[in-house]
Amino acid sequence: MTDVDQDAGAQMRAGRPEPDLRIVETRVYRGANVWSYEKAIHLVVDLGSLEDFPTNTIPGFTEHLLELLPALRDHSCSRGRRGGFVERLEEGTWLGHVTEHCALALQQVVGHDIRRGKTRQVKGERGRYNVIFGYVDERVGLAAARLAVRLVNHLVRPDPELDVADEIERFILQAERTAFGPSTQAIIDEAVSRDIPWLRLNQYSLVQLGQGVHAKRIRATMTSETSSIAVDIASDKDLTTTLLAAAGLPVPKQDAVSTADQAVTVANRIGYPVVVKPLDGNHGRGVCLDLPDEQAVREAFPIAQEQSRRGTVVVESFVLGKDYRCLIIDGRMAAIAERVPAHVIGDGTATVQELVDLTNADPRRGVGHEKILTRIKVDAAAEEVLSGQGHTWSSVPAEGEMVKLALTGNMSTGGISIDRTFEAHPENVEIAEEAARMIGLDIAGIDFICPDITQPVRETGGAICEVNAAPGFRMHTHPTIGEPQYIAKPVVDMLFPPGTPSRIPIVAVTGTNGKTTTARMISHILKGMGRKVGMTSTDGVVIDERLLIRADASGPRSARMVLQNPRVDFAVFEVARGGILREGLGYERNDVAVVLNVQPDHLGLRGIDTVEQLADVKAVLVEAVPRTGHAVLNADDPLVREMRRRCSGQVVWFSMEGPGTEVRDMIDAHCRRGGKALVVEPTDRGDLIVVRHGRRDMQLTWTHTLPSTFGGRARMNVQNALAAAAAAFAAGAPLHDIRQGLRSFSTNYYLSPGRLNEVEVNGVNVIVDYCHNAPGMKMLGDFVDRLGESLDAASELGKPSRIGIVSTAGDRRDEDMRELGEIAARHFDVVIVREDTALRGRKRGETAALVTEGVRASMERGARCKQVETVLDEIDAVRHAMSRANRGDLLVVCVDKHPSVMAELENWSQQAHPGASDNPVADPDYTPPA
Read out DSSP for 134-198?
Answer: E-SSHHHHHHHHHHHHHHHHHHHS--TT--HHHHHHHHHHHHHHHSPPHHHHHHHHHHHHTT--E
Q: Amino acid identity, residue 890?
A: L
Return the bridge partners of 682, or none: 687
Give 15's pLDDT tier (boundaries 50, 70, 90). low
Share of the chain above pLDDT 90, in %: 69
- Cβ-proximal residues to 64 (8 Å cutoff; 6+ apart), any chain: 155
Handedness of CA 709, 713, 717, 718 (dihedral sign): positive
Q: Amino acid identity, residue 766?
A: V
Q: Specify whether the CB–CB gap between 360 and 373 falls below 8 A.
A: no
- Residue 90 has a CB neighbour count (10 Å cut-off) of 11
pLDDT for position 841: 87
- State yes or no: pLDDT of 467 exceeds 80: yes
Average pLDDT over residues 572-599: 93
pLDDT for position 368: 65
Give 137's pLDDT tier (boundaries 50, 70, 90). very high
Nearest residue to 505 via CA among 727, 208, 720, 700: 727
Residues in the chain: 930
- Cβ-proximal residues to 180 (8 Å cutoff; 6+ apart), any chain: 188, 205, 207
- Cβ-proximal residues to 305 (8 Å cutoff; 6+ apart), any chain: 278, 286, 311, 312, 313
pLDDT for position 10: 43
Q: Can you tell me whether residue 5 is helix, strand or coil? A: coil
pLDDT digits (tens, 9 = 90+) for 212-231: 999 999 999 999 999 999 99
- State yes or no: pLDDT of 613 exceeds 70: yes
Give 521's pLDDT tier (boundaries 50, 70, 90). very high
pLDDT for position 2: 42
Query: Cα–Cα distance between 900 and 912 in angstroms, integer?
Result: 19
- Cβ-proximal residues to 444 (8 Å cutoff; 6+ apart), any chain: 234, 327, 328, 435, 436, 467, 468, 469, 471
- Cα-flanking dihedrals φ and ψ of residue 813, to 5°? -70, 155
- Residue 228 has a CB neighbour count (10 Å cut-off) of 10
Instruction: Compute the mean pLDDT over every residue in the chain, rounded to the nearest whole number.
Output: 90
pLDDT for position 925: 38
576-554-215 Cα angle (round to 5): 125
This prediction's pTM:
0.87
Query: Cα–Cα distance between 668 and 645 in angstroms, integer?
Result: 18
Handedness of CA 133, 138, 140, 145 (dihedral sign): positive
- State yes or no: pLDDT of 800 exceeds 50: yes
Q: Where are the beta strands (DSSP E) in 482-639?
A: 506-510, 533-537, 540-543, 546-550, 570-574, 592-595, 630-634
Average pLDDT over residues 471-487: 91
- State yes or no: pLDDT of 654 exceeds 90: yes
Range scoring the smallest mean pLDDT among 598-602, 650-654, 881-885: 598-602
- Cβ-proximal residues to 460 (8 Å cutoff; 6+ apart), any chain: 450, 451, 452
- Cα-flanking dihedrals φ and ψ of residue 433, to 5°? -65, -40
* Radius of gyration for the chain, computed over Cα atoms and rounded to the nearest angstrom: 36
Q: Based on the number of CB atoms within 10 Å of its own CB, is 325 exposed (0-12), middle (13-18) or buried (19 or more)? A: buried
Question: What's the half-sphere exposure (Cβ side, CA atoms, 13 Å) at 380?
Answer: 2
pLDDT for position 369: 61
pLDDT for position 912: 55
pLDDT digits (tens, 9 = 90+) for 810-844: 988 999 999 999 999 999 999 999 999 989 889 99
Range scoring the smallest mean pLDDT among 13-27, 304-318, 733-747: 13-27
Q: Residue 571: left if φ>0, alpha if ψ -120 to 50, beta else—which one?
A: beta
Handedness of CA 161, 166, 172, 174 (dihedral sign): negative
Strands 506-510 and 890-894: unpaired
- State yes or no: pLDDT of 548 exceeds 50: yes
Nearest residue to 830 via CA among 864, 790, 853, 857: 864
- State yes or no: pLDDT of 464 exceeds 80: yes
pLDDT for position 219: 94
pLDDT for position 374: 83
pLDDT for position 68: 92
Share of the chain above pLDDT 70, in %: 95
pLDDT for position 283: 65
Residue 570 vs residues 467, 883, 926: alpha-carbon distances, Å: 40, 46, 52
Nearest residue to 375 via CA among 394, 353, 359, 392: 359
Q: Specify whether the CB–CB gap between 359 and 376 falls below 8 A.
A: yes
- State yes or no: pLDDT of 762 exceeds 70: yes
pLDDT digits (tens, 9 = 90+) for 848-889: 999 999 999 999 999 999 999 999 999 999 999 999 999 999
Q: Where are the beta strands (DSSP E) in 210-321?
A: 216-219, 222-223, 254-257, 274-278, 288-291, 313-317
Query: Cα–Cα distance between 208 and 770 in angstroms, integer?
Result: 37
Q: Rounded to a whole number, what is the distance in angstroms from the first to the last CA of the chain?
A: 64
Give 538's pLDDT tier (boundaries 50, 70, 90). confident
Average pLDDT over residues 614-634: 96
Q: Amino acid identity, residue 101?
A: H
- Cβ-proximal residues to 904 (8 Å cutoff; 6+ apart), any chain: 875, 878, 879, 929
- State yes or no: pLDDT of 625 exceeds 80: yes
Nearest residue to 109 via CA among 156, 45, 179, 162: 179
Handedness of CA 440, 446, 452, 457 (dihedral sign): negative
pLDDT for position 384: 82
